[in-house]
């Protein structure tokens, strides 16, 4: 005899609603700030090791801070947790990691023979970084293609990569003058209106972007193989790239686009 199906077998099973996990959401919102605090820690560690005279250990911390500074803003946008608090915290951390830390590092490395002049040169770098960050915070127009003035992480990378390549402290007065140029040139570029290329407009979803990924892989491999030489080359190449682009635009006779702020994450 054929049995009829049970009544409960015809009922549609509705999945239970999963309650919102507020703790997980709170953890995601804190994640960008944790990267910012790690950036701040790297700046502090650089200062501590530089004051101890351990320049070989101090210089790489600025490189670590650059990487962390690139990540915190992107993570905030990816997770939808960007906030005004995060922007201000990022600026304060950048002032330590890309203003105070490279100035102390450069002073301990090559500005000491200059006496008060070297002391003043380091202070000018810190001031330029503060002005750069303050100007960035009040700019409203955005252009993802360019930065207005040299970004503070890139400016800090110039003395940091130089010290990383030449870790021995400068002793002579003539060499100290060269060290002062290593500090003052990026400082002046930070407060200038010279346009520096930004790579934020690169879309990883396009076919052309795969070439960029391959280029980045090559750069990472080169850094792993010869970190001292490659990091120094990257820092000075970016510094000179703005002038090379200016010369190229003038040779082609095309007007340069108006400079503007690149948007909230890199300074």
pLDDT for 132-156, tens place per residue?
999 888 876 666 777 888 999 999 9
Is pLDDT of 237 > 80? yes
Beta bridge partner(s), residue 91 = none
Burial (CB count within 10 angstroms: exposed 0-12, middle 13-18, buried 19+), residue 36: buried
Closest Cα partner for 129 from 104, 96, 87? 96
Distance CA 141, CA 261 (A): 6
SS3 of 31-61: HHHHHHHHHHHHHHHHHHHHHHCCHHHHHHH
Q: Which fold has domain 27-252?
A: 1.20.120
Question: Which of 64-68, 138-142, 245-249 is predicted with the least confidence, judged by mean pLDDT?
Answer: 138-142
Number of residues that this document lists for the chain: 267
Mean of per-residue pLDDT scores for the chain: 83
Instruction: Using the predicted structure, report yes or no on whether residue 63 has a pLDDT greater than 70.
Output: yes
State the pTM of this model: 0.81
């Amino acid at each position: 005899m054929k049995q009829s199906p049970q009544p409960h077998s015809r009922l549609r099973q509705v999945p239970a609603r999963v309650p919102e996990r507020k703790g997980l959401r709170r953890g995601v919102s804190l994640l960008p700030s944790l990267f910012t605090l790690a950036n701040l820690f790297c700046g502090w560690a650089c200062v501590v090791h530089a004051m101890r005279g351990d320049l070989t250990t101090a210089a790489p911390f600025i490189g670590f801070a650059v990487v962390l500074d690139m990540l915190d803003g992107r993570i905030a946008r990816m997770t939808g947790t960007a906030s005004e608090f995060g922007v201000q915290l990022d600026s304060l951390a950048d002032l330590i990691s890309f203003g105070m830390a490279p100035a102390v590092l450069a002073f301990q490395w090559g500005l000491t023979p200059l006496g008060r002049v070297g002391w003043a040169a380091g202070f000018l770098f810190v001031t330029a970084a503060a002005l750069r960050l303050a100007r960035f915070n009040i700019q409203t127009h955005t252009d993802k293609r360019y930065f207005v003035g040299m970004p503070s992480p890139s400016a800090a990378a110039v003395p940091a990569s130089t010290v990383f390549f030449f870790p021995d402290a400068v002793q002579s007065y003539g060499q100290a003058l060269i060290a002062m140029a290593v500090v003052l040139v990026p400082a002046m570029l930070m407060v200038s209106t010279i346009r520096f290329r930004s790579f934020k407009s690169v879309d990883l979803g396009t076919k052309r972007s795969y070439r960029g990924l391959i280029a980045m892989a090559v750069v990472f491999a080169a850094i792993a193989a010869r970190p001292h030489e490659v990091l120094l080359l990257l820092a000075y190449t970016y510094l000179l790239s703005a002038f090379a682009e200016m010369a190229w635009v003038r040779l082609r006779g095309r007007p340069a686009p108006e400079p503007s702020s690149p948007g909230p994450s890199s300074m």
